[in-house]
Amino acid sequence: MDMAEGKSPTVQTREVKEVLQTDITAEVRNLMKANNLKALAGLYDADFIEMKDDRLFTGKTTFSSGFNPANAKSAEGLVDLHIMDIITGQCDRHPGNYKVKNGQLKAIDNDCSFGVNALPEKGDVKKQRALKGFIPNNGSLMLRMPPVINQSQREQITNLYEKNRQALQEGLQVHLTDKEIGATMVRLEKLYRHINSSDCYVLQKGENFLSENAVNRLDPNNSYWARELMVLNPDQTGGWNNLRKSYRQSAALPNPE
């Protein structure tokens, strides 16, 4: 996938926190006495540990996928990826599954695509669980429909739905079951209806994905770009586990089925 132009920066945030004295258990204190910094870092999942007297400090450095949030072309590339993920039902698109390097966006690990349950009418796909409820935070990372697209993306989706649906189905028959193809067609139809509804804004001449009209419509539940910003926020340094947790706790989402 060759979508985005421009050099991507190394984006890094760093946060240091002191562990409350009341939270330091006897076992942790023993490790502090033994100066076992590695074990302490492992327990706190910290990138670095500092001890001053009997005080313990943990630090976390967070890196993004390399995506430059100020690059409109990269933002456009992530919308392309979002559209593809909607059609294919890819529910595992965390930033480890795409990289921005030297201006190119590469998507990898697409094996969670084409699931028959990745259907919007079955409730929010983030609520579905790979382990039938055993492990709560295995929620899908599939986003809601893109609230902003450009004219080219609109034309491509329209062409695919109105003129090439049959060809798409035939092409997929080699690889997928009838149910999987059926689910793909449902997702495509929903996407098509979405881009022709008032819920989807099509960029006007002179606008790009960083224009005010676009950005105001984005949030981490409907945009990879907004999701990246959320992860870059120092308050969200818990990484993807926290991201999944925040999805689950979002009041805007329906309850789990």
Partner 1 sequence: MNPVDFASYFRDNLELDLPPIPSPYENKIKLVAKSVFGSANPEKLLYNLDDFLNEVVSKPVKDYVVMGIAEKGEDTVCYYAVKGPLALFVQLPLSQKGRINNAFAAIKPIFDALEKNQGKIEKDKRLLVVFSHYRGSGCQWITGHPGEIDDKKWDPNRPLLQALNALSQL
Contacts of 114 (CB under 8 A, 6+ apart): 88, 89, 176, 180, 183, 184
Location of structure tokens 């002191």: 18
Tell me the window of 68-76, 92-100, 201-209, 217-225 that interacts with partner 1 (CB under 8 A): 92-100
Closest by CA to 228, choosing from 57, 78, 108, is 78
Q: Which is nearer to partner 1, 36 or 211 (CB)?
A: 36
Q: Which is nearer to partner 1, 130 or 160 (CB)?
A: 130
Task: State the nearest-atom distance from the C-beta of 21 to partner 1, in Å.
Answer: 15
Q: Does 35 contact partner 1 by CB under 8 A?
A: no
For residues 255 and 257, give the distance between their C-alpha atoms in angstroms, rounded to a whole number.
6
Question: What amino acid occupies position 102?
Answer: N
Single residue of 3, 4, 8, 31 touching partner 1 by CB under 8 A:
31
Write the interaction track for partner 1 spanning residues 43-82; mark x where CB under 8 A is met and - where it is not.
xxxxx-----------------------------------
| Other CB atoms within 10 Å distance of the CB of residue 227 | 26
Task: State the nearest-atom distance from the C-beta of 202 to partner 1, in Å.
Answer: 34
Single residue of 18, 54, 109, 170 touching partner 1 by CB under 8 A:
109
Q: Residue count at the site for partner 1 (CB under 8 A)?
A: 38
Q: Does 255 contact partner 1 by CB under 8 A?
A: no
Task: State the nearest-atom distance from the C-beta of 207 to partner 1, in Å.
Answer: 35
The per-residue DSSP string of 13-70 comes to EEEEEEEPGGG--HHHHHHHHTT-HHHHHHHTT-SEEEEETTEEEEEEEEE--S--TT
Q: Does 1 contact partner 1 by CB under 8 A?
A: no
Q: Give the number of C-alpha atoms closer than 13 A to the C-alpha of residue 3, restricted to the C-beta side.
A: 23
